[in-house]
Amino acid sequence: MTKRPLTDEQVARFHEDGYLFVEHFLDEEETRLLQQACRADSLMQQRAMDVRDSAGRRTNLSLWNHPGDDIYGVIARCERMVDSVEQLLGDEVYHYHSKLSAKEPRVGGAWEWHQDYGYWYKNGCLFPDMLSVFLAIDPCTKQNGCMQVLRGSHKMGRIEHGFAGEQTGADMERVEQAKKRLELVYCEMQPGTALLFHGNTLHASEANLSEHPRWGLICCYNTKHNDPYKEHHHPRYTPLVKLPDSAIKETGAKPTAATQRFLQQDQDDTTRRLEVEAGRS
């Protein structure tokens, strides 16, 4: 049974704005464990891809489809996370994929304006009933390239997407018109804060030209009724086993062999996909 960790006001705000901030989503100890895990995770660093923006700056990105038993997978499966997502989407959800995005000081690249459903649509998902959760690992500020969203842009529906650098970007003619009518919000966040945003919400971020890193863990979810109609590089409906919130602290900051196996396979699949879509193979 899905619990209701969010208030009715928070749910209404999400559906109106297309996003929702939840401060202290992770408490201080949980945040510290996540920071320790990702900074010391040599496997993540070895398997990370350099995704370049239109100016050639790079963001290190690690991606995996299946949540393991390390801290990343436990966060993605904990009741606090899954119940919040199910409350907002109104259905059972499953883990679509997770990403560790690392913008390093002075060299971290921008993310072009896009909707997540702009490319998930092409994966065989019929409906935009999907959602991402960005968890701040570092302080996210304007100076180090925090996320930006256009308030209410999810109501525009899906926009056509094409490539900008090595990224999938939205039709900029539409984006520029949307920016004239919708409020641009800089998502400045403290570590442990969560930003939950709809699959059709337009979002972007600027390059990190500051002296401070900007890392984030992004957990993405699809609804059971939106099971893709074709096989693709992200999974079809796979039942998600929820874990108690206490599992985060019990797990601590150590990786597991299972996660290493999933990361190796998923990263290879994603690298091949990016090369094909960018015409590099």
Give per-residue pLDDT as tens, 195-212: 999 999 999 999 999 999
How far is the C-alpha of 81 from the C-alpha of 93, rounded, in Å?
Answer: 11
* pLDDT for the residue 169: 87
194 DSSP assignment: E
Characterize 234-251 residue by residue with b for buried, 16 or more Cβ atoms within 10 angstroms of its Cβ, and e for exposed: bbbbeebebbebebbeeb
How far is the C-alpha of 74 from the C-alpha of 225, rounded, in Å?
Answer: 24
Residue 186, by phi and psi: left (phi above 0), alpha (psi -120 to 50) or beta? beta
Q: Compute the mean pLDDT over every residue in the chain, rounded to the nearest whole number.
A: 88
Name the residue ranges covered by the structural domains of the chain. Answer: 8-277
Pick the CATH number of 8-277 from 2.60.120.620, 2.40.30.10, 3.20.20.150, 3.30.420.10: 2.60.120.620
Tens of pLDDT along 134-193? 999 999 999 999 999 999 999 999 999 986 555 678 999 999 999 999 999 999 999 999
Q: What is the pTM of this model?
A: 0.90
